[in-house]
Chains A and B, each alone.
Chain A
Amino acid sequence: MDASNLSIREINSLFTKKELKPSELYSKVFENAANSEAALHAHLTLFEEENIKKAAESDKRFSNGESASLLDGIPIAIKDNINIKNYKTTCSSKMLSNYTSPYDATVIEKLKEQNTLFTGKTNLDEFAMGSSTENSAFGLTKNPWNTDYVPGGSSGGSAASVGARSSIAALGSDTGGSIRQPASFCGLVGFKPTYGTVSRFGLVAFASSLDQIGPITKTVDDSRIIFSSISGEDSRDATSVINNQLNIPSDNTATIGVIKELMEDGISDEAKNEVNKVVEILKSKGYKVKEISIPIIKLSISIYYLIAPAECSANLARFDGVRYGLRVDGNTSYEMMENTRAEGFGAEVKRRILLGTYALSAGYYDEYYGKALQARKEMIDEFAKTFKDVDYLISPTTPTQAFKSGEKTSNPLEMYMSDLCTIPANLAGLPAISIPTGLSKDELPLGVQIMSKPLSDNSLLDFSEIIENEVQFDGQPKGWL
């Protein structure tokens, strides 16, 4: 048995019974990293040396029976847009290649309180803008199931790391699917909590009304453990909410809606088949399943690609070569800023800043950004109406299996379409999870997405665990252990 394949609860049980030491597990995940990093490039930086002492402290706590946390001694990888004090936070951008964070993100403070060990910082699409981890200034990350394919994005490094077992779990961020899509492409669980339940303080902002931190894990229970550890209201994030969870049924008294618009053209047969497979299982267990239509979902990409770039253009205005990050000289401050931003940002980031700047500019604001805001409000209302009829909504997580590296890089719109199923949850602030359910004919993972009403995260996790237990997906990428 390889301990790096186990769930957090199983590992904690071995630690408690003194059958495994945190330092042994820590060495094991770094052994896995040594086997996989050259091929996958999941991590941008590995923290091995710095954390050996902390692993030994975990050993001592378990040896003395003093450990009180399920996450004590668990090696977790952190997406490199989340600040850890005294470490670099690059956002995979040349702009921040020399930035060392002087503070911890709230989620990092919380994990440190639980004595979690960090494996390092993982690769992402620059500033979390992308769906394939091909937009990193520091090189591609590959899919651990087949290195010809992308791991998804933007949290592709986090997903590849958990897939190759160079971490037990990882944190990602999800603005339009950046946790769920790479989790699906890598055969893992990816959970985007309700907007506001997890503090964004210390997450480098991309689109503040959409961004949310969450876990990428091997099991639903692992996501539950991490979510309960990192959630909670935070005065340093004005949009954070009190995590007062609603209880909705997860047993077979629950009603499930299949979203019609996400089972039509543009969705592969393989992706639809996974949803149908889960629906049949649920029906056989006595769940009531019905088709639900939410027509405005078809406009998700249009709404998102106005709102997210608009917010991005405002948030990324801070990178001006004055206070932190890259500076490229110029004769005046303005020239310096223009040169710095020309040199520091990659193509996709420039594309989105320009799109957002245009959508917010005088004369175009009403017809672009204003219209998108109205449509977003309408989508939120439509979801609220739908959740009066059903408890959970099911769809594919992604329209297809993982695509090949380079396949979509020349056509930005085609890349954007790969987030069709995941974007609605961000626009409406809903909790949403991707669960792995099967393999495609190319032997690549496929998953289904479940969404529920705001603040029903715990019930969503309970329901997802029922599906996980029924589906029994036990696939794992080969060759990295």
Chain B
Amino acid sequence: MSNEFNIKNIAKLASINLSEQEQDSLSNDLSIILEHVNALSDLKLNSQQQEIFIHPLEKELELQEDEVVESLTHDEAISNAPESKDGKFVVPPSME
């Protein structure tokens, strides 16, 4: 496994604005952690199957009926918004 990473690029992907100091310390931490998880590369696996499962009991996920059920009201759903107007979320412009 390779441990080459560009901390600025990862931070951009994760939408987190990091200070120079954070970039240094997190870069160092990630190197140490990745070095440890590299132990996995030596693992000889019985199966080469790469299953994406989200349930350790391997429950098969079922689609729900398309039914109207009780849920949050509009006011409740927007009650924690940092900024809202006329029942809508308000955000800064997407482009300058």
Contact = CB atoms under 8 A, between A and B. Distances in A.
Interface residues on B, range: 35 or more
B45 A427 contact: no
A358 B92 contact: no
A235 B47 CA distance: 33
B17 A100 contact: no
Nearest to B5: A358
A85 to B, nearest CB: 10
B1 to A, nearest CB: 5
Interface in A286-336: 296, 299, 301-303, 305-306, 313, 317, 320-327, 329-336
A273 interface: no
Contacts of A371: 40-41, 43
A455 B45 CA distance: 27
Nearest to B1: A367
Contacts, number: 188
Interface in B67-94: 72, 76-83, 89, 91-94
A276 interface: no
A29 interface: no
Contacts of A364: 2
B33 A305 contact: yes
A429 B2 CA distance: 30
Contacts of A330: 92
B47 A380 contact: no
Contact of A301 (B36, B38, B48, B76): B36
B63 to A, nearest CB: 9
B29 interface: yes
Interface string A378-413: 101100000000000000000000000000000011
Nearest to B12: A338
A366 B7 CA distance: 20
Interface of B: 1-2, 5, 7, 10-11, 13-19, 22, 25-26, 29-30, 32-34, 36-41, 43, 45-57, 59, 61-62, 64, 72, 76-83, 89, 91-96
22 contacts: A102-B77, A208-B54, A209-B56, A239-B59, A299-B43, A301-B36, A302-B39, A302-B40, A305-B36, A313-B14, A317-B15, A320-B15, A326-B82, A333-B91, A342-B16, A353-B14, A364-B2, A370-B50, A372-B37, A375-B43, A377-B47, A378-B45
Which 5 residue pairs of A and B lie closest in terms of their CB atoms, listed nearest first?
Answer: A429-B56, A327-B82, A324-B80, A102-B76, A342-B17
